[in-house]
Amino acid sequence: AAQDNVFKIGLILPMTGQQATTGRQIEAAARLYMAQNGDMVGGKKVQLIIKDDTSLPDVTRRLAQELVVNEKVNVLAGMGITPSAMATAPLATQSKTPLVVMAAATSSITEASPYVVRTSFTLPQVSVALADWAPKNGIKKVVTLVSDYGPGIDAEKYFNQRLTFNGGQVTEALRVPLRNPDFAPFLQKVRDAKPDALFVFVPSGAGAAVMKQFLERGMDKAGIKLIGTGDVTDDDQLNDMGDGALGVVTSHHYSAAHPSPMNKKFVEAFEKANKGLRPNFMAVGGYDGMRVIYEALKTTKGAGGGDALLAAMKGQIFESPRGKVFIDAQTRDIVQDVYLRKVERVNGQLYNVEFDVIKDVKDPGKTK
């Protein structure tokens, strides 16, 4: 049957709603990867089926079920936020379908199913570098402000632990709802507490609102530094944040300004294909996720089903636009360099300019 020659990837993303920028970035990256690498792989014709889960986990699970049962997809992928990945993991296990997590970044997601492979990052992985940098740069007392769910809790915990170990102190830990957050009352509290810095984790797409309200309150002028994981100075929004963002230091695994030849080509091709849209860390998670799927299909030629594909995903080492990466065969999580970056104006545009690197960082959040 013609069907035997088709390899289906069910890509579930938030294309509408609060997390829509994540879906837009990952879809664009997946399409770019396919445009650059063709759709004939290991003798199969690759078909991408994109579904919008609006970032509601019940919808993610229902769509995944339909994709597995009706469409008979070979791989599930996407997962814009942690609750979506967690809701889909049991189905991946039951149906023995690899689930390539391209966005969601709570440490424990890879432990929710042996079929999960992650190409994004984890919050513990990127948070500790900043807690090493801060006390060496005059930041001792910090208030943390995180979105109140998996990745925020991870960021809060690992940043606090490492800062305390380094002789610093988290004086207050604030949590703001994921859905329709109002940052104003929290920022007012921070202004009154007057710490050396405010550490922020909010998911991709929410950074601009935090930055705006931080600046409107004159918190920078009151001597409070804004620091955070790179989600807050998201390349998708950074250039519109204005000069107030200059100097903000973050730690993350990807910047569109990463100065490698491969990244320059990636950014150029991505912007060209998407009316000037700058790729962010979500795009890179999607691009690399497609790479992991394509290489696994090349190796297996589609034989052996989900288990064979999964085995061929484990242990992949390759150059990503972010730098060299490795899919740890034991944890199925990504090992990668983490960069310290500062917002600077380059050729008239705001970028996260990398100034230091910690090589080959494993997720410190794994319990085993």
Give the binding range for ligand DHB (CB under 6 A) out of 98-106, 158-166, 215-223, 259-267.
Answer: 98-106
Nearer to ligand DHB, 97 or 127 (CB): 127
Q: How far is the CB of 103 from ligand DHB (least distance, A)?
A: 6
Considering only the stretches 97-105, 133-141, 298-306, 313-321, report the one whose residues sit in contact with ligand DHB under the rule CB under 6 A: 97-105
Residue 82 touches ligand DHB, criterion: CB under 6 A: yes
51 contacts: CB under 8 Å, gap ≥ 6 = 10, 11, 12, 13, 63, 67
Which positions from 175 through 194 interact with ligand DHB, judged by CB under 6 A?
Answer: none
For the chain, the 3-state helix, strand and coil shares in percent, each to the nearest 5, are: 40, 25, 35
Integer angstrom CA distances of residue 346 from 44, 261, 300, 342: 43, 17, 44, 12
CB of 208 to ligand DHB, least distance (A): 13
Backbone angles phi, psi at 338, to 5 degrees: -115, 135
Question: Which stretch in 26-34, 103-111, 300-308, 324-332 sits in contact with ligand DHB by CB under 6 A?
Answer: 103-111
Distances (CA, A) of 56 to 15, 48, 52, 140, 201: 11, 21, 10, 38, 20
In whole angstroms, what is the distance from residue 124 CA to residue 127 CA? 5
Q: Examine residue 106 and tell whether it contacts ligand DHB (CB under 6 A).
A: yes
Round to whole Å and give the CA distance between 221 and 215. 8
Which residues fall within 8 angstroms of residue 77, CB to CB, at 6 or more apart? 9, 10, 11, 12, 99, 100, 101, 102, 289, 293
Q: Which of 106/316 has CB closer to ligand DHB?
A: 106
Q: Is 122 in the site for ligand DHB (CB under 6 A)?
A: no
Q: How near is the Cβ of 194 to ligand DHB at its closest, in Å?
A: 28
Contact 55, 79 (CB under 8 A): no
Q: Give the residue with the Cβ less far from ligand DHB, 113 or 204.
A: 204
Interface with ligand DHB, residue 127, by CB under 6 A? no
117, 327 contact by CB (below 8 A): yes
Are 319 and 263 spatial neighbours (Cβ–Cβ below 8 Å)?
no
- Helices and strands: H and E segment counts in the chain: 10, 15
Element (H, E) at 50: strand 44-52
Nearer of residues 108 and 169 to ligand DHB, judged by Cβ: 108
- From 77, 92, 104, 241, residue interacting with ligand DHB (rule: CB under 6 A): 104
The closest of 325, 326, 324, 358 to 341, measured between CA atoms, is: 358
10, 14, 98, 151: which one binds ligand DHB (CB under 6 A) = 151
Looking at residue 363, the DSSP 8-state letter turns out to be P
Q: What does the per-residue mask of binding to ligand DHB show for 17-36, with x meaning CB under 6 A?
A: -----x--------------
Nearer to ligand DHB, 73 or 232 (CB): 232
SS (H, E, C) 180-232: CCCCHHHHHHHHHHCCCEEEEECCCCCHHHHHHHHHHCCCCCCCCEEEEECCC
Q: Looking at beta carbons, which residue is closest to ligand DHB? A: 203
Segment 221-240, which members bind ligand DHB (CB under 6 A)? 231
Region from 36-44, 104-112, 244-252, 337-345 binding ligand DHB, contact rule CB under 6 A? 104-112
Q: How far is the CB of 18 from ligand DHB (least distance, A)?
A: 10
In this complex, which beta carbon is closest to ligand DHB, that of residue 46 or of residue 198?
198
> Which position among 204, 233, 274, 352 is part of the footprint of ligand DHB (CB under 6 A)?
204
CA separation for the pair 270, 264 (Å, rounded)? 10
By CB under 6 A, is residue 200 in contact with ligand DHB?
A: no
Total residues at interface with ligand DHB (CB under 6 A): 12
The yes or no reply on residue 81 touching ligand DHB (CB under 6 A) is: yes
Contacting positions for ligand DHB (CB under 6 A)? 22, 81-82, 103-106, 150-151, 203-204, 231
